[in-house]
Amino acid sequence: MCFINLKKMDKKIIEEFKNKLEQEKKSLTRQLELVERKAMREKEESQAQFPDYGDKDDENAAEVATFADNISIESDLRNNLKNVEHALQHIKDGEFGICEACGKEINLERLKIYPSAILCVDCSAKK
């Protein structure tokens, strides 16, 4: 296993993670803005909180499913954005790559795949 030694972690590697996280933050922010604008347009166009496909049971089910999907997407975007901002704060605080549960260093390969990881693989599996 490849673990980070934070005292020896190259500043270049940390800067690469920071840049990747900042790009992801911009992307998530744009996506969230689009979802919110779409929701506002739909709200302005209709009194209903979800799209109106008709009055039949199957049409009503489709309305509810679309509404639930939109809420889920927005929630996922907000959660991902929060995680990215949290990781960026860890970089500023010099705590990047440390598991918040056990205090051990997070595997470098895990951080390459998921730079906003706050838990090591073992602690994540326990959760």
Question: Over the stretch 47-93, which tens digit does the pLDDT of each residue have?
Answer: 445 455 556 656 556 555 666 566 788 889 999 999 999 999 999 99
Q: What are phi and psi of 3, to 5 degrees?
A: -105, 155
**Domain extent at residue 17:** 11-96
Grade residue 35 by pLDDT with cuts at 50, 70 and 90.
confident
21 and 79: one domain?
yes
Three-class secondary structure of residue 105 per DSSP: strand
29 and 78: one domain?
yes
Residue 96 tokens, joined: 């990047």
pLDDT, averaged across the chain: 81
Q: What pTM value is reported for the model? A: 0.71
Q: Residue 112 domain-assigned?
A: yes
